[in-house]
Amino acid sequence: MKTIDKYLFQALDNYPFWLEGTVESLDYALSYDAKNTTALCLYGRVHAEQLLDYETAKAYFQEALGIDVYALEVYPYYIQTLLCNEDYEEAERLIAFALTIKGISKTAILLEKAALLERRGEIKAALKLMKTIKLSCFTLSDADAVAELEKRLKGKRGLLFEKKKKKPEKSASKKESKTKKK
| CATH number, domain with residue 93 | 1.25.40.10
Q: Prior bond to 168 cis, omega within 30?
A: no
- In this predicted structure, the answer to whether residue 151 has a pLDDT above a threshold of 80 is yes
- In this predicted structure, the answer to whether residue 21 has a pLDDT above a threshold of 80 is yes
Query: What is the pTM assigned to this prediction?
Result: 0.85
pLDDT score for 72: 98
pLDDT score for 179: 53
> What single letter denotes the amino acid at residue 148?
E
Same domain, 38 and 70: yes
63-67 contacts: CB < 8 A, separation 24 or more?
A: 64/37, 64/40, 65/37, 67/35, 67/37, 67/40
Give residue 23's domain range: 1-104
Average pLDDT (142-165) is: 87
Q: What is the Cβ-side half-sphere exposure of residue 110, based on CA atoms within 13 angstroms?
A: 23
pLDDT score for 169: 55
Same domain, 98 and 42: yes
Same domain, 68 and 15: yes
Average pLDDT (106-134) is: 96
- In this predicted structure, the answer to whether residue 99 has a pLDDT above a threshold of 70 is yes
Q: pLDDT band at residue 161, thresholds of 50, 70 and 90?
A: confident
Same domain, 97 and 131: no
Percentage above 70 pLDDT, the chain: 89
Choose one of 55, 73, 104: the last residue of a domain: 104
